[in-house]
Structure 1
Amino acid sequence: MLTTYAEGVHPVSRRPLGQLEAEVLAAVSAGGSIATAELLSRIPGDPAYTTINTILFRLHDKGLVTRERDGRQYRYRLAVDEARLVADRMHDHLRYASDSSSVLSQFVEVLTSEEVAELRQILEHRGKPT
């Protein structure tokens, strides 16, 4: 069955929920204490207010953000170290790969030259006393 769309109307492109959670976490991290309405302008793709609010409630339930009442709304703050959170997620994905060497190779292939230089510096200093 072929679906046609009226001129100028396109199907909504949806991103994976994990990606949206990551975008919301990054926006909360950059914003200090922030309300749902303020987050909307920081998330690309014009997500619905209710979608962002639902993500924030889930992140709160997971202990990743804290919230405090501010009138009729909540203000959210990051409750964890963002770098540690992302690193743990990356490590979890790598742990479950059947060929971690291939995954690492693919990962390095998409790094920018600046990211490669940062990674080299980190690896050179790994294990050395600071």
Structure 2
Amino acid sequence: MARRPLGRLEAEVLAALAAADGPASTADLQARIPGDPAYTTVNTILFRLYDKNLVTRVREGRHFLYRLAVDESRLVADRMHDHLRHASDPSSALSRFVQNLSPDEEDALRSLLRRPRSVPRDAP
């Protein structure tokens, strides 16, 4: 089995946690992630996400239950912005991204682009 890049596995764990109905254990999340990752791998990722303040946890017996500490859509948007900032040709990368959108994703993007632009919260 091919190994996933660490950032991708972190994203998969965060997505599984976002999809959970409430706090989730390592075993719950392991079952939600495709490709059957090892329990210890998921647990290590959760500890790293906790250290990065991306998840919170509470002890239940011998195990922890995890919950997102941040908005998942914000995490994904920040990751997309980081990739564009580091691209040698951001316009080309953005163009390639848009070309690969599904029809539903394209409709959602068009709808968002038609909305009046709001002022960022940290703007003067």
Q: What is the TM-score with the length of structure 2 in the denominator?
A: 0.91
Q: Could you tell me which amino acid in structure 1 is paired with residue 19 of structure 2?
A: A
Aligned match of 1:23 in 1, 6, 12?
12
How far does the alpha carbon of each residue in 1:52-100 deviate from its partner, in whole angstroms, 9 at most, with x for none?
A: 0000000000000000000000000000000011101100110111111
Aligned match of 2:62 in 51, 57, 72?
72
- Structure 1 or 2, whichever has the larger Rg, is 1
Structure 1 stretches (4+) deviating beyond 2 angstroms? none
Q: Could you tell me which amino acid in structure 1 is paired with residue 64 of structure 2?
A: Y
In structure 2, the residue matched to 1:5 is: none
Residue 104 of structure 2 corresponds to residue 114 of structure 1: yes
Residue 80 of structure 2 corresponds to residue 54 of structure 1: no
Residue 53 of structure 2 corresponds to residue 63 of structure 1: yes
Question: What is the count of residue pairs matched by the alignment?
Answer: 118
Aligned match of 1:126 in 108, 116, 123?
116
Q: Could you tell me which amino acid in structure 1 is paired with residue 36 of structure 2?
A: D
Distance 1:49 1:88 in 2: 28
In structure 1, the residue matched to 2:121 is: none
Q: Give, in angstroms, the shift of residue 126 of structure 1.
A: 3.5
Structure 2: unaligned runs, 5 residues or longer: 119-124
Residue 86 of structure 2 corresponds to residue 96 of structure 1: yes
Identity of aligned residues (%): 66
